[in-house]
Amino acid sequence: MTGIERPRRLRRTPALRRLVAETGLEPRHLVLPMFVADGLAEPREIGSMPGVYQHSMDSLRRAAAEAVGAGIGGLMLFGVPRPEDKDPLGRRASDPDGILNRGLRALSAEVGEATVVMADTCLDEFTDHGHCGVLDAAGAVDNDATVARYVEMAVAQAEAGADLLGTSGMMDGQVGAIREGLDAAGWIDTGILAYAAKYASAFYGPFREAVASSLQGDRRTYQQDAANRRESIRELELDLAEGADIVMVKPAMSYLDILRDVADRSTVPVAAYQISGEYAMITAAAEHGWIDRRAAILESLVGIRRAGADIVLTYWAAEAARWLS
Ligand code: PBG
């Protein structure tokens, strides 16, 4: 055949493919979510997330140092308190001696300025009912009372050394209130990684095991409905107006269209969270020998980058960073 277009010309050799690849994936793009649990002597593997651990204070430091050695861009820490330390207000979340704040101090001492230390700024691990906020007399999540608790939590996390606060609770006005509270307490350089679009997702299942969640029911009165797209633009605009430094879309895989929408409109860097269920699915299929684990992980990460994420939170951050460097 003559005169036809031949796009295959640029796919012929690895060198040609490398030359024309549009999307890059580098260790610095990856952020590792980590769990630190109170009262653990040894790390405990999470059943639905093989290879991911609830850490003891010691193993947290070791795993963080390894991840930093692999060149990752940041760490996002979640705390798992003892069951007896949970209460309706999630008091331990803002207690400097609560597990998350102790873990943040240990992390920032361990890694210094070699990576970015991020904290989950949400109450769900600390409340005995498992909701991301405090409840009103009728048992509904009370937006404004919750935001006041987030502000206390945020200041404690800034004091504990967090560089960025991950506001994952989906309460209205949370970013603005936290910004104001941080500034008033003198933490003008502590940033906010705002979960702008966070959907109520069945794929959070394994995470709820990871943090020993007490939740009964669901989070549909505060997290977004999977059917909606415009709503994410509204959430993005609100978070930008309230002072978000970085915005996030979560989950990643089932929401790549939302990620593209947000990336096209955001004036700040955009992150996406490849969540626990995404990790569990690829891990399980690979364990069965049904997919090539490494190729599937890298393809999933490139796909998230291609959809518009500058930053990807992934439980494979350290391992993928080693492959990429
Ligand atoms: C809640 C929170 C959740 C995740 C991160 N923060 C779960 C939820 O909303 O129930 C999920 C992360 C994952 O599934 O990997 N603060």
Ligand 1, atom nearest to 207 Cα: 14
What pLDDT band is residue 9 in, cutting at 50, 70 and 90? very high
From the CB of 275, is ligand 1 less than 6 Å away? yes
Distance 207 CA to ligand 1 centre (A): 6
Q: Which residues contact 47 (CB under 8 A, 6 or more apart)?
A: 209
**Active site (annotated) includes residue 250:** yes
Q: Ligand 1 centroid to 169 CA: how many Å?
A: 9
Gap between the Cα atoms of 212 and 69, Å rounded: 29
**Whether the Cβ atoms of residue 121 and residue 154 lie closer than 8 Å to each other:** yes
Give pLDDT, residue 2.
87
Catalytic entry in 149, 219, 250, 305: 250
Length of the chain: 325
Which pair of tokens denotes residue 217? Answer: 């029911």
Centroid of ligand 1 to alpha carbon of 11 (angstroms): 39
* pLDDT higher than threshold 90 for residue 219: yes
With 90 as the cut, is the pLDDT of residue 124 above it?
yes
pLDDT in tens, 80-117: 999 999 999 999 999 999 999 999 999 999 999 999 99
Instruction: Reduce the DSSP state of residue 233 to 3 states and report it.
Output: helix
Strands (E), the chain: 30-37, 44-46, 49-55, 74-80, 116-120, 164-167, 191-198, 246-250, 270-273, 311-313
| Residue 275 Cα: closest atom of ligand 1 | 15
Q: Greatest CA separation found in the chain?
A: 76
**Atom 5 in ligand 1: residue holding the nearest Cα:** 168
Q: Annotated catalytic, 86?
A: no
- pLDDT at position 83, please? 96
- Which of 160, 183, 320, 156 has its CA nearest to residue 245? 183
Q: 146 CB less than 6 Å from ligand 1? A: no
Report the atom number in ligand 1 closest to the C-alpha of 204: 14
**Ligand 1 within 6 A of 316 CB?**
no
pLDDT reported for residue 314:
98
Mean pLDDT (the chain, rounded): 97
pLDDT at 30 over 90: yes
Q: Report whether residue 278 contacts ligand 1, using a CB cutoff of 6 Å.
A: no
Residue nearest to atom 12 of ligand 1 (CA): 275
Q: How far is the CA of 188 from the centre of ligand 1 (A)?
A: 27
1 pLDDT higher than 90:
no
Q: In this structure, which residue's CA is closest to atom 6 in ligand 1?
A: 168
pLDDT in tens, 162-209: 999 999 999 999 999 999 999 999 999 999 999 999 999 999 999 988
238 neighbors 170 (Cβ within 8 angstroms) = no
| Residue 287 vs residues 39, 193, 316: alpha-carbon distances, Å | 31, 34, 15
How do residues 224-271 score in pLDDT, each as one tens digit? Answer: 999 999 999 999 999 999 999 999 999 999 999 999 999 999 999 999
Residue with token string 């040609």: 16
Any ligand 1 atom below 6 A from CB of 304:
no
